[in-house]
Amino acid sequence: MLEWAKALVGTTVTENHLSNFPNETLSEDSSLSEDTPRPGSYKAMGPIPRRKQGEPVSLAPAPQNHAAPFVPLSPKTCEETGLPAVFLEELVLKALFFSGGMRGAELVQHLRLPSPIVDEVVDSLRREKHVELYGSTNLSLGKSGMQYRLTHFSRDLLKQILERSHYHGPAPIPFEKWATAARLQSVRNRPVSARGLRQSLQHLVLPPNTEQRLGPALSAGRSLFVWGPPGNGKTAICRKLAECLESAIFIPHALWVDNFVIRFFDKSVHVPLPLPLSLSQQGCDGRWVYCQRPFIVAGGELSLEVLDLSYSPYARTYEAPPQLKATNGMLLIDDFGRQRVSPRDLLNRWIVPLENDVDFLTLHTGKKLQVPFDNFVVFSTNLNPTELVDEAFLRRVRYKLEVPPPTLEAFFNIWEKECLLHQLTFSQPLIQQFIQRYYMPIQRPFAACHPRDLIAQIVDIARYRQCKAQLNSELLWAAAENYFSRFPE
């Protein structure tokens, strides 16, 4: 019996997994835990912190943003879940198998389904003698207090189930329902307040008319190409734009398509929010997570393979690609042109989605899956755009923004802001000496990141010397000598 259990999941059997079956030892498939890395995960993508409490709101209040355009109501019957009853039974069996046993209330929380639906599924499995009660049971709590586990009769059935899929998380959402929700929660054509955008960008020193260039792009929510020398605020601007995506959306834990599960919700990139009382009172479907509009960053690790569904042959589930997880939000392709794939191949991959608002993903069976492409896509690069893209691509990217090096006046303003941030006394004459010493002799261009980086080094040097951090020639020269070090050619 132990050998059968080992063959069932193909992992090490430990003493901690007793009680999946009476007097048997089984192992847990930890590869599907939400806290562990996913198959085909991408490291450089993650959530960007939004507005903190007390900071000005980036978007002016708009009624359509507060009244959710899509509210998933909790299903009342198995049919309303959109999933076959057999699939729901398999989810319950796998949940009991990998946990070793659960109370009714724990099953409800695990599957994110209402109690009546879970009770109906469990009762069906009990009648078929695949599930039984065990241990002490708190009958005063009704079925939610009952403890369930698998019986010997479920072995063969469970073996067949695990050969199809190891997924045992929250019940997925049918693909068609999610596609409808994606259209209703679109990031396209949203009203943006000029005052709110100005407040969001107020901490940055930007060229004139930058706000006027960014506002229409953010409102359209389609595509933006940002270019300029490194260190001048391209990524910072994109972060501020992401903060302006204030309205929240519903994101599914997983999708169900062609009898396969696509894992969608990702703690590393999706930021859950408390459900407002007005929505909670309506009885929302627990299979959806109320989240900030996603902001996902893809850097140099991006490849064509990452942009397709990632199939795990062991777990027999799919992981959604980054552009799918960024649906109804913002996708930043940072350091464009430095990916492991050539810019031409990457651009060819994006042409159809940018043009037609649909993307095509491939299942491991070879079938093509048409999915909504509702992303505010931003391409950011410090390379020469004429060497990266052609006219056909630029035509499909509706908005373009150049972020040049700061002017002398802007450079002084950045120094002053950074000094204020670190509670240092700003001295324009000292910065003028600094420019004459370290910039003019070799015609070094200004960069918006220089003041921030140099002041950070001043603070580090002062801490090491156990002296007060201040903007003076001694500390600034020491920081500059290290920061502008020359390497042998």
| Domain identity same for 147 and 269 | no
3-state secondary structure 420-471: HHCCCCCCHHHHHHHHHHHCCCCCCCCCCHHHHHHHHHHHHHHHHHCCCCCC
| Domain identity same for 327 and 257 | yes
| Domain identity same for 228 and 337 | yes
Query: Does residue 47 belong to any structural domain of this protein?
Result: no
Nearest to 455 by CA among 421, 413, 407: 421
Flag whether pLDDT at 38 surpasses 70: no
Query: Does residue 489 belong to any structural domain of this protein?
Result: no
Of the three residues 402, 433, 450, the one that is the final residue of a domain is: 402
| Domain identity same for 186 and 149 | no
SS3 475: helix
pLDDT value of residue 137: 57
pTM of the model: 0.81
CATH number at residue 108: 1.10.10.10
pLDDT value of residue 139: 57
pLDDT value of residue 138: 59
| Domain identity same for 143 and 160 | yes
Q: Residue 66: what are its φ and ψ, rounded to 5°?
A: -85, -30
Distances, alpha carbon 334 to alpha carbons 238, 302, 362, 485, in Å? 10, 10, 25, 26
> What's the chain's average pLDDT?
84
Residue with the larger pLDDT of the pair 161 and 62: 161
Range of the domain at 130: 2-32+84-169
| Domain identity same for 145 and 243 | no
Structural domain count, the chain: 3
Looking at residue 219, the DSSP 8-state letter turns out to be H
pLDDT, one tens digit per residue, over 315-340 is 999 999 999 999 999 999 998 888 77
| Domain identity same for 107 and 240 | no
Structural tokens at position 471: 């903007």
Of 106-120, 190-204, 249-263, 425-439, the poorest mean pLDDT is in 190-204
| Domain identity same for 13 and 162 | yes
| Domain identity same for 128 and 90 | yes
| Domain identity same for 158 and 192 | no
Query: Does residue 145 belong to any structural domain of this protein?
Result: yes
Could you give the CA distance from residue 228 to residue 13 in angstroms, rounded to a whole number?
A: 55
The position carrying tokens 């209330």 is: 105
Structural tokens at position 264: 């969608």
Query: Does residue 39 belong to any structural domain of this protein?
Result: no
Query: Does residue 79 belong to any structural domain of this protein?
Result: no
Of the three residues 386, 402, 418, the one that is the final residue of a domain is: 402
Of the three residues 375, 402, 429, the one that is the final residue of a domain is: 402
| Domain identity same for 7 and 99 | yes
pLDDT, one tens digit per residue, over 123-172 is 999 999 999 988 655 555 567 778 899 999 999 999 999 999 999 999 99
pLDDT value of residue 142: 62
pLDDT, one tens digit per residue, over 159-206 is 999 999 999 999 999 999 999 999 999 999 988 878 888 888 888 998
CATH number at residue 258: 3.40.50.300
Structural tokens at position 418: 């950074």
